[in-house]
Structure 1
Amino acid sequence: MLFGINPLIKGNVHFIKEDLIIYPAGQTFTVNDLTKKTQTHIAIPWSKKTINLIVMSPNRKYLAVAESGDRPTISIFDLRDRTRIKYLGNPVAGSKAKRFASIAFTFDNKYMVAITGEPDWLLLWYNWERARVETTAKMFDPGDKIGPIFQVSTHPDDHTVIVVVGDCFFKMYSLFGTEFQQYGFERAERVPLTCVTWIAPDKALAGTKDGRFLLIDFGELVGIYRVYDVDEIVIIPRRQAAEEVHLPAVDNLTPSQQAEDEVRI
């Protein structure tokens, strides 16, 4: 049981190690050692803002804490010496966003991508060690009948590739120089997407509010499945998959698509 944890914070529990968990409680981060049955605390600098989002770096050495307010911020904590080492803001002039909708470290822990909330929906690409935004991109215009955005996910091998999902929104981007360029599948106007993850360097799964997931392979949509119909996902080499596996054709994104009991990719 975790006492004092705030269920309204996205990403409110993380494993630092197999037997070491961290979560926010009041104005501190509580660190529980599950083996030694001990508890320590990391002080959170006082702020009028409200923590709304927490993510951990892939190497489990850094914790990014997003706070909402008139000027939303991201604090980076070093979990080795348990101190805040960076304080990031939104430098875009005229931005009216009061929160970060999603943030993620790149696989090499060197960069961070953040997406602001309404009404701006801006993508900010941070070199967080230098506390600098290196490029920005607008996800969509306020008049577009899409959004909100729920998640950005960074590629497991390439820090220049990301995927972003939201309600009626799916886009994959690759960073060329200082500009993000969209590629691959993006036909999601009627799809209530809520989450996405990479399951291999060339494959991503995106989940929907109505219990489906979309399989994206090399940037292209190759299958739509009902979650309750799928027991197992087995990843096999792409060449072997082309020879041995047939995925059902996708003509549209209606919820009527059925799936096999086992999906082999």
Structure 2
Amino acid sequence: MSIAIAQPRHIFGLRSSIAGNIAFHDEQTIVFPSGANCILYNTDAKTQRFIPGSEKSEGMTAMVVSPNRRYIAIAEKGEKATITIYDLHSLRKRKILSSPDIQSSEFVSLAFSPDSKYLVAQGGKPDWTLLYWTWEKSKVMASTKTSNPQTNGAIYQVCLVNFICNAL
């Protein structure tokens, strides 16, 4: 007697609460969160590929595709905030990142460096810690508190750029 296993073929919907919730993998493929999965939808072939969420996850909180379009970083909320880096071609996990430097159970924003070698992750409340990773080595290069608890000035979006931004 064989047991049938149900596997998703199509998933509809977009989780709008996820930071960076839609991106291009290439000219024909968009990447977006839906339910507990991350979907790669090919607009020409009308096909979907899935990156499932982790078993112990309480849900995705942020995602970002690397500038070289090879990797995706997905942050998930849980007992411990985690970031999983996947190879977008093979859909295999490359790294799972977490740090004892943060008290938060979630990362609220992610950004790759222009060369795709580094990752910035903004932790959420209560400590609002920003981490700068060499992600391939799973090494935190720097961390800092980005919010003043007395003013409730929370940070919800981060970016890494290779030029100086001047405020007007």
Task: Give the TM interval when normalised to the shorter protein.
Answer: 0.7 to 0.9
Query: What's 1:115 paired with?
Result: 122
Q: Secondary structure at the match of 2:12?
A: coil
Give how far 1:79 is off. Answer: 0.3
Q: Are the equivalent residues in 1 in contact too, given 2:57–2:76 (CA < 8 A)?
A: no
Query: What's 2:155 paired with?
Result: 149
Q: Does 1:106 align with 2:113?
A: yes
For residues 147 and 121 of structure 1, the distance between their equivalents in structure 2, rounded to whole angstroms, comes to 10
Shift in alpha-carbon separation, 1:4–1:134, aligned structure 2, 3 A: same
Question: Given the two structures, how large is their TM-score scaled by the length of structure 1?
Answer: 0.55
Q: Secondary structure at the match of 2:100?
A: coil
Query: What's 1:22 paired with?
Result: 31
Identity of aligned residues (%): 35
Q: Are the equivalent residues in 2 in contact too, given 1:77–1:86 (CA < 8 A)?
A: yes
Q: Does 1:37 align with 2:46?
A: yes
Query: What's 1:83 paired with?
Result: 92
Question: Given the two structures, how large is their TM-score scaled by the length of structure 2?
Answer: 0.84
Q: Secondary structure at the match of 2:25?
A: strand
Q: Which has the higher strand share?
A: 1
Q: Are the equivalent residues in 2 in contact too, given 1:27–1:46 (CA < 8 A)?
A: no
> Which of the residues 119, 127, 137 maps onto 1:130?
137
RMSD of the TM alignment (CA)? 1.9
Q: Give the unaligned 5+ runs of structure 1.
A: 158-200, 205-215, 223-265
> Which of the residues 74, 93, 115 maps onto 1:65?
74
- What is the letter of the counterpart of residue 120 of structure 1? D
Shift in alpha-carbon separation, 1:42–1:141, aligned structure 2, 3 A: closer
Give how far 1:113 is off. Answer: 1.1
- What is the letter of the counterpart of residue 143 of structure 2? T
Query: Which structure's relative contact order is higher, taking Cα pairs within 8 Å and 6+ residues apart?
Result: 2
Q: Point out the structure with max Rg over C-alpha.
A: 1
Shift in alpha-carbon separation, 1:153–1:47, aligned structure 2, 3 A: same
Q: How many residues align?
A: 158
Give how far 1:111 is off. Answer: 0.7
For residues 45 and 6 of structure 1, the distance between their equivalents in structure 2, rounded to whole angstroms, comes to 16
Query: What's 1:53 paired with?
Result: 62
